[in-house]
Amino acid sequence: MKKETVASLSERIWALEQEGQVRACMQRYMALCDVLDIGFDLSLLMDLFTEDAVWQGVGKRYAKTFGTYEGKDVIAKMFEKYTLPPAHFVTNAHFLTNEFITVSKQTSEGKWLLLQTATFHDGRSQLSSARLSVKFNLENEKWKIKLFQTESLFNRPVVTPWDVDKELPTPNQ
């Protein structure tokens, strides 16, 4: 076993801290996507991207559904349609799992499985799952999305909205 030095321990601590920052960037992205609504301030979301970022649907379904958007301004235009009337989502929640993050000096990469529950303005609901592959660049000590790729694993219509306005069942008192 190689003897640890202060320098090697410092590098390992830095990498762990950076992994946490990459995770925080991705969590912020998903949290903002959950609240995309009429009048949403897209600059909050766009602050997470590099100027030359690429947002891409890949695979049979998402390449056709979403396509590819190159450059921060073009990506903003894609997201803008979710902020115009009528509201696209009534309920939207993204859940990330199976995370794997690698970090180097100026770049990092993360992979996640995504589960999304959505109810749309027109009353339809959907359960979707996707494989995410995201590359990040370190800019001014902040991790930003350089390449965002989403590939559909499955999509399934749901008969009722996710949020039903009924009292929650609780044990009798």
Domains in the chain, start-ordered, CATH in brackets? 6-158 (3.10.450.50)
Tens digit of pLDDT at every position of the chain (173 positions): 678 888 888 888 998 999 999 999 999 999 999 999 999 999 999 999 999 999 999 999 999 999 999 999 999 999 999 999 999 999 999 999 999 999 999 999 999 999 999 999 999 999 999 999 999 999 999 999 999 999 999 999 998 888 888 888 888 75
The Cα 151–Cα 59 span in angstroms is 6
Candidates 140, 125, 120, 116; CA nearest to 62 is 116
Please give the model's pTM, rounded to 2 decimal places. 0.92
The pLDDT assigned to 1 comes to: 67
In degrees and rounded to multiples of 5, residue 82 shows phi and psi of -80, -10
Strands 89-103 and 125-139: unpaired
The pLDDT assigned to 173 comes to: 56
Which residues, 6+ apart, have CB-to-CB distance to 119 below 8 Å? Answer: 89, 90, 91, 92, 125, 126, 161, 162, 163
**Cβ burial, residue 135 (10 Å; 0-12/13-18/19+):** middle
The Cα 79–Cα 41 span in angstroms is 11
